[in-house]
């Protein structure tokens, strides 16, 4: 007999309609017997010792439930035959045979020689007429750069150049940085001083060219990280006058300009 399907069909309504009179023990024994029947694909041997083992019963308990359970079977030539199980086994075997035939037909179709496609013919023709191996190799297409969400070339494809020595941070960058610091709850700082420090730093970094957008992003991070105590103190008016007096004293050869202060 052909191999059956892995699942055993159990029609609950039909089963319950036929077994409402069975006890719990009789239900269990009956189900174990028909599952064994299905798994082996053969009728049960008319041997009480074997049937007791299949139903997990002692010989004494098996004799008590045997009449009710075996009423669903018909004994033929020393075998207990179940009509419903036999019909389901036959259907399962038929389904299995149909699947095998379809699989064989599919395999035969796949492995049979198929007519060459136009693409295959063209490739063989190009190999035949090529004067060298490189000519016979198909040319690899170079992918075009993918546009960004705005349809413009990707930022990584744009020119990269160092920060010009005479360039300054745009005013709109400074205004935006101030807004970002305010939203982040950071203290106010003189961002114009920070901008001069940023420009001087990247003007000296000539070995690392960047795109315009990269410089803008670095400025935003620089402005957010800047702390009030990191900035040089801005000179007041008195500091400026003192420095001018010192420079004038040095020019006249007087090392102590403070003596001229009243």
What are the tens digits of pLDDT across the range 62-101?
999 999 999 999 999 999 999 999 998 888 888 888 888 8
**211 & 245 share domain:** no
The per-residue pLDDT for range 4-41, each reduced to its tens digit, is 556 788 888 889 988 999 999 999 999 999 999 999 98
Token code pair at residue 255: 């090392």
DSSP, collapsed to helix, strand or coil, labels residue 38 as helix
Q: Are residues 19 and 84 in the same domain?
A: yes
Task: Flag whether 128 is in a domain.
Answer: no
Q: What is the mean pLDDT of the chain?
A: 78
Q: Is residue 241 located within the same domain as residue 224?
A: no
Within-domain flag for 153: no
Strand pairing partners for 90?
A: none
**Phi, psi torsion values for 43, nearest 5 degrees:** -65, 155
Looking at the structure, tell me whether residues 208 and 189 fall in a common domain. Answer: yes
Q: What is the CATH number of the domain that holds 85?
A: 1.10.10
**CB–CB of 169/195 below 8 Å?**
yes
- 22 and 76 share one domain: yes
What total number of domains does the chain contain? 3
How do residues 113-155 score in pLDDT, each as one tens digit? 655 555 566 556 655 555 555 555 555 555 555 544 444 445 4
Tell me the whole-structure pTM to 2 decimals: 0.41
Answer whether residue 102 is part of any domain. Answer: no
Looking at residue 105, what is its pLDDT? Answer: 82
Whether 156 has a pLDDT exceeding 70, the answer reads no
Asked if 170 and 206 sit in the same domain, the reply is yes
In a domain, 184, yes or no: yes
Residue 226 lies in a domain: yes
Q: Which domain holds residue 255?
A: 236-262
């Amino acid at each position: 007999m052909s191999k059956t399907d892995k699942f055993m069909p159990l029609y609950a309504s039909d089963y319950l309609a036929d077994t409402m009179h069975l006890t719990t023990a009789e239900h269990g024994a009956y189900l174990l017997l028909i599952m064994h029947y299905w798994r082996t694909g053969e009728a049960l041997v008319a041997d009480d010792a074997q049937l007791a083992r299949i139903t997990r019963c002692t010989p004494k308990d098996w004799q008590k439930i045997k009449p009710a359970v075996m009423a669903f079977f018909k004994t033929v030539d020393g075998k207990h035959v179940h009509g419903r199980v036999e019909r389901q086994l036959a259907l399962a075997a038929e389904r299995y045979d149909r699947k095998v035939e379809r699989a064989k037909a599919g395999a035969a179709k796949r492995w049979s020689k198929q007519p060459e496609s136009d693409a295959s013919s063209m490739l063989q023709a190009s190999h035949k007429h090529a004067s060298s191996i490189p000519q016979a190799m198909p040319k690899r297409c170079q992918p075009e750069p993918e546009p960004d969400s705005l349809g413009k070339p990707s930022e990584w494809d744009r020119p990269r150049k160092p920060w010009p020595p005479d360039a300054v941070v745009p005013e709109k960058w400074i205004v935006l940085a101030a807004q970002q610091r305010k939203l982040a709850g950071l203290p106010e700082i003189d961002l114009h001083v920070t901008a001069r420090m940023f420009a001087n730093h990247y003007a000296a970094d000539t070995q690392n060219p960047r795109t315009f957008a990269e410089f803008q992003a670095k400025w935003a991070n620089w402005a957010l990280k800047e702390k009030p105590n990191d900035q040089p103190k801005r000179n007041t008016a008195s500091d400026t006058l003192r420095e001018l007096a010192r420079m004038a004293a040095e020019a006249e050869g007087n090392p102590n300009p403070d003596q001229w202060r009243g």
